[in-house]
Amino acid sequence: MKKTRIYFSLLSLIMILGLSAGLPFEATSDQKVVAGKNAIVARVDNQPITIQEIEDKKINELRVELHKRLKRNLQLNALQKLSKKFPEFGQTYQPEISDKVATDFYLKNKLQNRGTLKELKPRIKSLLQMQALANYYDQLYQKALKRGLIVSYLQAPNEFLVRVPIESAYLWENKGESVMVLEFSDYQCPFCNRVQGTLSELRNIYRGRVAFGYRHTPLAFHKEADEAAIAAECARDQGNFEKYHKTLFINYQNLTIDDLIKYASKSGMPDLNGFKSCLAEERYRSRVENDQKAASKAGIQGTPGFVIGKYDRKSGSVNGEIVPGAQPQSVFVAAIEKYLRDR
């Protein structure tokens, strides 16, 4: 009985997660299931409910992970069977990772705060060996596909897209751009601080082609972040958002009320007393809280978080994908270019 329950649970998971991943699914004639994000999973009063309506980011992540595991197992299984007739697909591979490669990885990924090179080197080498092995088997698999020795029916899941309202976001560029990078950040977050240089470079690269927006997501354990967010909105009230915004990130470790007022004075706030009053009465508390709710609803669970996609001016929203964390410039460029091509 226990085995039956386990099997049923696994089967149910595969059926649910596999609807848009191209897994076999047999529908009765009245279901008319459509593959992909428009797959019909239920009807209420004869009105269809699609997978897109009930999916969230977590479900999509599970589907993606399931697909990765299925693909890996398919590769190994197929190569093992092929090797019986074609020995070239059964050749073993033992990747060697040099000290220099491990050191370069350690420095490039800035792992100093995780431990010394001596402490982390064995783990780094192990990770790189696993990656090299995965690449090796993937190349063999792709070679077999090209030769027609394998025909795969496994499809990757649809990309998880979100629609996030712009609402009161601060916009750097707003001159007809059709693509937007909408940032959700916390002024006390070191990773948010780290990515600001990258964003500044991107704004220069894509000036006139991509709009950049900012919404507040102060985290609960950053005790000074919410006041800093309110202060930034008070600065925005006086047309001084960008300069003050930059100052807050540079000084992310010192954001007391006195600090916030000091930075306002140094940044040349036109009406310092007006700024103080705005901050004291927390005039923009509700705006900051609304930004937090928007981030949560979109599925952004940490800072910084970005939504990159089509800028729909009519609905006042950005429709695209979530890019989490302080990613390298290449990650942002890849996402931006994809949506620019789709214009």
In a domain, 30, yes or no: yes
Give ∠ CA 159-165-170 in degrees, rounded to 5.
115
Of the residues 120, 146, 172, which one is the last residue of a structural domain?
Answer: 146
Contacts of 146-151 with C-beta under 8 Å, sequence gap 24+, read 149/82, 149/86, 150/78, 150/82
In a domain, 260, yes or no: yes
Computed from CA positions of residues 232, 235, 239, 245, in that sequence, does the dihedral angle turn out positive or negative? negative
Q: Please tell me the predicted confidence (pLDDT) of residue 3.
A: 42
Question: Angle formed by the axes of helices 190-205 and 329-341, to 10°?
Answer: 40
CA distance 83 to 137: 12
In a domain, 303, yes or no: yes
Does 273 lie in the same domain as 180? Answer: yes
Q: Please tell me the predicted confidence (pLDDT) of residue 57.
A: 67
- What are the residue ranges in the chain where pLDDT is below 70? 1-39, 52-53, 57, 158-160, 343
CA torsion, points 116, 119, 125, 127, in degrees to nearest 10? Answer: -90
In a domain, 156, yes or no: no
Report how far apart, in Å, the C-alpha atoms of 292 and of each of 11, 214, 304 are. Answer: 37, 12, 12
Amino acid at 179: V
Q: What is the CATH number of the domain that holds 190?
A: 3.40.30.10
CA distance 130 to 125: 9
CA distance 201 to 37: 35
In a domain, 157, yes or no: no
Q: Which two tokens stand for residue 235?
A: 């600065």
Does 79 lie in the same domain as 39? Answer: no
In a domain, 77, yes or no: yes
In a domain, 45, yes or no: yes
Q: Is the pTM of this model over 0.85?
A: no
- Which single residue is written with the structure tokens 């088997």? 137
Helical ranges in 219-316 per DSSP H = 225-237, 241-250, 257-266, 272-280, 285-298
CA distance 229 to 252: 12
* Count of other CB atoms within 10 angstroms of residue 137: 16
Question: Angle formed by the axes of helices 225-237 and 285-298, to 10°?
Answer: 120
Does 92 lie in the same domain as 11? Answer: no
CA distance 116 to 35: 49
Of the residues 11, 29, 55, which one is the last residue of a structural domain?
Answer: 55
Does 81 lie in the same domain as 13? Answer: no
Does 140 lie in the same domain as 282? Answer: no
Does 319 lie in the same domain as 184? Answer: yes
Of the residues 55, 73, 89, which one is the last residue of a structural domain?
Answer: 55
Over its C-alpha atoms, the chain yields an Rg (Å, rounded) of 25
Collapsed DSSP state (helix, strand, coil) of residue 234: helix
Does 167 lie in the same domain as 132? Answer: no
Does 196 lie in the same domain as 260? Answer: yes
Q: Please tell me the predicted confidence (pLDDT) of residue 295.
A: 93
Q: Please tell me the predicted confidence (pLDDT) of residue 162.
A: 86
Does 268 lie in the same domain as 211? Answer: yes
Q: Which domain holds residue 87?
A: 58-146
The total domain count for the chain is 3
Does 104 lie in the same domain as 7? Answer: no
In a domain, 281, yes or no: yes
CA distance 312 to 159: 19
Does 196 lie in the same domain as 136? Answer: no
Does 22 lie in the same domain as 8? Answer: yes
Q: Please tell me the predicted confidence (pLDDT) of residue 158.
A: 66
